[in-house]
Chain A
């Protein structure tokens, strides 16, 4: 299958869901062509609401729609959506309204638009909100199922999606499960691993390339894909700690607050005593292609390989 941005897969899945479920509505803040809800808007014009460049009102209205029985998907760039944390905290999380927030163009992956358009702290902000489910699918197969799951789940959900195209890493028969991580790749026949890599979203393909390359160099790695960032599969961390010398976290997000933090929390709270290396941003980004930024900010396959092998100081 051709590579597809997870935002594209979301846009298609939303149309399909809209056919089946008349309660589904979509909300945008002047970015429907980018968030990919434009197709839904075209197909169901009465069920699509453009709020203009006013995300706070969009989020609050989504809560009102949800409290009246609708299933609203409110979309914008990850940074603009989660930048409006207060209405998310109150209207969505505290009110426990059945709102699906969709943050697209996540992280460095937006590329040339640069720092002000990059959501690099959104998961950290939302992970502290009680009841907020946070999903970051890695490819189209997983995105479609995550969107379907979000529509079925009663409660707030945040979907974090990419601008950049993503190769399918899951087989068509893959079954997404909220709260569970899935092992995407294992160095065959190995019973002991130099590293288990936990990856989520944009840099999953780089992590897969790294794991394969390590094998060709005679090392053993395992790759765990973490779509479900909240709730988080801390059992997967415990399993990896039993047979891995280290855990390496890879994400297009600040190292504070998201996947890397979740893995550290799981390891520390269970007293696992396994070293954790966190790859992600530690500063704001800049303008360049997504590939150039992944290289510069330490998310390329080479960086991941290095993180799996370098001596721990």
Chain B
């Protein structure tokens, strides 16, 4: 069912969480923690905010979205499947030989992917280039880049944060999925990035900080960012919970990059659906 027609995005994101668990279980590997933290952001973007046409992924006037934290692609694939880019059944081919659903997003294998990502730190630069192209052409489409908080430890992110205000890219929106988790531990311990809002403001960005699981708040905030015209690029710091929706995965770094076994997946799914 296309997200647009859903009365209740909350129940839809619940189903997407179930699919994330099931597809990673079927793949036998993948990244559930970051997928569950970012799914609400992606569901709102694909369902309520992006101007796009799933039947025509190459539509020139579409908004562009880059998942720079490419390891969370199970969430991206779910949002795309529910939006109508491909049949939901295909989700279960994740990471299998010949599948367009690669372990990290691959634009040449899956129409609708704007940028093949997964090597962290690169998505914002590519999004910046897309936003520059829109400005050059005088086109109204926008570019959204979703970054991880751990990813911001990559220096290239800060080169891009520095450059976007110089070029007046108010058509560029950076969304940080701030779940404070990375493979080696909490971001605040491995290599702190705070105070992030202050840093981005100092770099010349307009910054909003929100609860990244509050669907209405996400939508309002992204709509405000999308309406920006004052010459500043827009940053949204979305405070999220890694593993959100599955009690034993929440804030447990062990679930950054490991797949649930069947019994664990069954428990997770029961929990997600029980919260209906």
Contacts and interface: CB of A to CB of B under 8 A. Distances in A.
B136 A87 contact: no
Contacts of B188: none
Contacts of A91: 115, 122, 125-126
B160 A68 contact: no
A158 B218 CA distance: 42
A61 B162 CA distance: 13
Contacts of B162: 52, 54, 57
B121 to A, nearest CB: 8
Contact of B122 (A54, A60, A65, A72): A60
B115 A64 contact: yes
B126 A64 contact: yes
B130 A65 contact: yes
B156 interface: yes
Interface string A52-94: 1010110111111111111010000000000000110111001
Interface string B187-220: 0000000000000000000000000000000000
Given A52-B162, A96-B108, A60 B130 contact: no
B49 interface: no
Contact of B156 (A57, A63, A70): A57
Contacts of A63: 115, 125-126, 129
B110 interface: no
A64 B129 contact: yes
Contacts of A72: 129
Contacts of B156: 56-57, 60, 87
A116 interface: no
Interface of A: 25, 46-47, 49, 51-52, 54, 56-57, 59-70, 72, 86-87, 89-91, 94-96
Interface of B: 64, 107-108, 114-119, 121-122, 124-134, 136, 143, 155-156, 159-160, 162-163, 167
